[in-house]
Amino acid sequence: MFVIDDRQDPAQAAVIAPAPGPRRFTRRKTARLIAPYLYLAPALILLVVWTYQPLVQAVQLSTYSWNLLPTAPMTPVGTANYSRLLDLPAFWGSLGRTATLILGLLPFTVLLPVLIALASRRVHGRARTFYQALVFAPFLVAPVAAAAVWRWLLHPGSGFVDQLVGTGHNWVYDSSTAQAVIIVITGWQLLGFAVLVVWAGLAGISGDYSEAAQVDGATPGQIRRWITLPLLSPTLLFLVLTTVLLSPTLSFPLIDSMTQGGPSQATTNIYYLLWDYAFHSFDAGLSAAAGVLLFVGFGALAAVLVWISEKVAVHDD
């Protein structure tokens, strides 16, 4: 009995089967190329709408003279706003106060977080969770609420601080201490966030290094000095960068709620100054010029800090 096998040889079928058309191949290739950008599209659209478009509008507005009234004409003035801004003593004074603010906040965002994070490694169990929550709690307080509470605490005569110290000093409305008050309150709020970042950095350091160092006879102090801190350097440089870039912004609610830039502009930094020009003096062109210079200056400073970070930071490779 003969059986007819009509199954096709795989090799012959591969030869006979028609090759996919170029149009189908092109569509698949195009879909693979477009897919990543489709995932990125929502974020890119929001970035363009809320960041780059306002930046372009600010650059355009800085070349006009306008008082923010819809019925008032916008007069082109070219670079006159920039020249006028650079001639104002208040602008240079605000830059100096901004630098003082940044330098004053660095101990609260770099030094103290490292000390607190290293000390918390000795706390274990539920006590450690409570300790971490207690440190992070001030960061959750709204700046306006914090400003109201601190004004009550620092009130001359009836405030808790004055009753404790007994000086009768007006800490908030004295030009010699107002800037220090803003620095301390802002640092108190940012301390919890900075400690959280340092905790994350310490968690990313492998314990093999310290164990190997202990085998070689290294003391705990030597391990912290020569192993932990160098490997923590990327985290610390990140905190320095965020302090430099965000300090004027994060201190704005406290300044606006407590001192309004005073007394005698003692707490007016560059960020509050451009807001003051726009919404107190109604000089939109001058405010936009200050904003553009602020963006360029802090952008250049951020680039330098990133370059230093790449050169100095020790990475666990």
What does DSSP assign to residue 137? Answer: G
Distance CA 286, CA 277 (A): 7
pLDDT in tens, 71-91: 888 889 988 999 999 998 999
Q: What is the pLDDT of residue 1?
A: 43
Distance CA 303, CA 298 (A): 9
Distance CA 226, CA 222 (A): 6
| Global confidence as pTM | 0.82
Residue 61 near residue 290 (C-beta atoms within 8 A): no
Q: What is the pLDDT of residue 32?
A: 81
Q: What is the pLDDT of residue 64?
A: 92
Query: Who contacts 162 (Cβ-Cβ below 8 Å, separation ≥6)?
Result: 154, 155, 156, 168, 169
Q: What is the pLDDT of residue 300?
A: 92
Residue 184 near residue 248 (C-beta atoms within 8 A): no
Regions of the chain short of the pLDDT cut 50:
1-6, 13-15, 17
Identity of the residue numbered 103: L
Q: What is the pLDDT of residue 21?
A: 52
Alpha-carbon distance values, 56 to 62, 148, 303 (Å) = 10, 37, 21
3-state secondary structure of 65: strand
- Cis? peptide before 263, omega within 30° of 0: yes
